[in-house]
């Protein structure tokens, strides 16, 4: 099974209809969810960021919790473990938050990172892909 880690910025695009990348992100996630041999993953720590941004933007705590529940139903959470933290600290990523994403993706053997910030992961072993690229990739499978 091919694993795709979904970066926090993409999750925020997914739950925020007013964001410019929302439509493309929804299309990519729909394609991902119907693909038989592809599994979408999210960092468990990303959920708190999505919650915070959603509450700040919409001011609706109950809706924010429902958005988090829906993300949890759609994707496999990857936990922020000691192994992930240690790998992140030892990584050559200049940004610790990005190094956590990279370490989690590499330890979970993700083939792709769905992100809008591909340059931040230049040293990673996985392929960086945006929403349109994921749609194209899945259409060719």
Tell me if 37 sits within 8 A of 2, measured CB to CB.
yes
- Name the pLDDT band for 62 (thresholds 50, 70, 90): very high
Q: What is the average pLDDT score of the chain?
A: 96
| Range 123-141 average pLDDT | 95
| Range 11-37 average pLDDT | 96
Q: Please name which of 46, 116, 118, 115 lies closest in space to residue 75, comparing C-alpha atoms.
A: 46
| Beta-carbon count within 10 A of 46 CB | 26
Which residue matches tokens 């091919």? 2
pLDDT of residue 7: 98
pTM of the model: 0.95
- Name the pLDDT band for 122 (thresholds 50, 70, 90): confident
d(CA 54, CA 61): 8
- The DSSP element (H or E) to which 22 belongs, if any, is helix 22-34
Question: What domains can be seen in the chain, in order of their start residue?
Answer: 2-139 (3.40.50.1010)
In this predicted model, what pLDDT tens digit does every residue of 71-104 receive, in sequence order?
Answer: 999 999 999 999 999 999 999 999 999 999 999 9
pLDDT of residue 66: 97
- Name the pLDDT band for 108 (thresholds 50, 70, 90): very high
């Amino acid at each position: 099974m091919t694993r795709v880690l979904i970066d926090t910025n993409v999750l925020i695009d997914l739950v925020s209809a007013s964001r410019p990348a929302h439509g493309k992100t929804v299309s990519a996630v729909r394609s991902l969810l119907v693909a038989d041999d592809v599994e979408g993953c999210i960092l468990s720590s990303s959920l708190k960021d999505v919650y915070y941004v959603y509450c700040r933007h919409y001011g609706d705590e109950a809706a924010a919790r429902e958005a988090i529940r829906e993300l949890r139903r759609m994707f496999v959470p990857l936990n922020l473990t000691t192994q992930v933290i240690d790998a992140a600290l030892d990584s050559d990523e200049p940004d610790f938050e990005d190094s956590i994403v990279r370490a989690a993706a590499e330890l979970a053997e993700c083939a792709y990172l769905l992100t809008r910030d591909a340059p931040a992961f230049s040293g990673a072993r996985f392929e960086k892909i945006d929403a349109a690229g994921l749609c194209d990739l899945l259409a060719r499978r």
